[in-house]
Each structure stands twice: as C-alpha cells, then as structure tokens.
Amino acid sequence: MALILAVDDDNSILELIKNCLLKDNHTVLTYTSPSLVPLDSLGKYDLILLDIMMPDIDGYMFCEKIRPLVDCPILFLSAKSLENDITFGLNLGADDYLLKPFRLSELKARVNAHLRRESREKHISLYSGRISLNLSAKTLLVDQDIIAMTKSEYLLCEFLLRNKGQVFSKEQIYEAVFSIYGESDNSTITTHVKNIRIKLNSFDVSSITTVWGIGYKWD
C-alpha cells in the first residue's frame, strides 16, 4: 500500500518495524545510517521513520536536512523522552514522535493514521459552482484556470469554503486562519476579501458575501 523508509542503527528494531508494517501490506526499505540513504530517492516515500541517536548523523540533523526535500510525514522513534527533546524534533519538521520502547500496535496505528490523512489531503478538492480548491496544491481554480493568489488569500478562501454558508466576523477569521502566520491584525481581512473579489469577478463568478454588521460568508 505505502512505501516507507525506516532509518535506525539497530538492525533488530528495523526488522521488527519491517515485519510489523508488512502485515498491513506496506513496503519498508531500511537503512542503518542516514548517510546510506540516497537523497535522490526520498521523493518516492509515503512516510519516513527516523531514530534519533545514531552514531554518524543523528535523526535531528537528517530530518532538518531532508524536510525541505519531502512533503511526506516524518515520524521520530526514539528513547529520548524529555519534553524538550520531543518539542525540538517536532519543531524541526517532524509530524509525530513515538517513544521507545513502543508497542507495535501503536506504531501501526500512528503510521496508518498519517497515511490516511495524507491520502485525504492529496485527493480531496472543495467545489463551489465553477470554483474548486485543490487542497494538495493549495490552488484555487475557476473552471480549469488557476487563479494567482497570495498565501493569505488562498487560506481565507479555503476557510470560508470549508464552512460554506456560515457567517464569520473579521475577528473570527483572523483567529482561525491568520494569527498563527503573524498577520498584523484583523484589518487585513477586508483587504484580502477585496483582492479576492477583484480576481474572481474578472471570471464573472462571485464567492464571498458581506453580511453587513457581522462579517463574511461563502455563498
């Protein structure tokens, strides 16, 4: 079903991982060191499992190196259990952190949960009349034409379309969509909406409606 990369300097752990995930019909390629992994092959993997404490290149360094090269989930498998260790790993770009010794049932559950999430994100699009949002490519299309949008404009469209018909104030939109990205304040919402409307009106389609005194909704 999925092609998984597992890197750990302990061959016995690699064998356990391989045999465990094979039961779910996954293919697991194993390496005992990050230095042995061909970087030009990384794009083919659906998920990557990484030990942290390895002698030549540790998992932290390898994760930081490959994160810009891959968009698949990266899961750390490590005995380093301090909160700072876990937080550091996640901040490097890992998607999950499983403590050793782990139960094989939990490993299977975590792996399959991440793969299901990836599958949903890569195959689901949102539709509204002639407008569609490709959630994987993060693009908005009218008919078959991709509309050039800033990241903020796209995120605003995705939020409203996911909640089609619901009315949100500028404050609610800001908190749900933009606060994590450091937008200056909620006054920018008005500007984003104006720019989105200009771009979509040129294709003779409407989308975001102003509900006077309250906020905006996607019709």
**Ordered domains of the chain (ranges, CATH):** 3-122 (3.40.50.2300), 125-218 (1.10.10.10)
pLDDT at position 190 is 87
For residue 200, count CB atoms less than 10 angstroms from its CB and return exposed for 0-12, middle for 13-18, buried for 19 or more: buried
Q: Whole-angstrom Cα distance, residue 136 to residue 107? A: 26
Asked if residue 57 lies in contact with residue 29, where contact means CB atoms within 8 angstroms, the answer is no
Angle between helices 188-201 and 151-162 (to 10 degrees): 90
pLDDT at position 198 is 92
pLDDT, tens only, 13-60 = 999 999 999 999 999 999 999 999 998 888 899 999 999 999 889 999
- Measured in residues, the chain has a length of 219
pLDDT at position 67 is 85
Compute the Cα dihedral for 211, 180, 45, 10 and give only its sign: negative
pLDDT, tens only, 99-135 = 998 899 999 999 999 888 777 656 577 888 889 888 8
Phi then psi for residue 215, to 5 deg, are 165, -130
pLDDT, tens only, 50-90 = 999 998 899 999 999 998 888 889 999 999 888 888 889 89
- Output DSSP code: residue 209: E
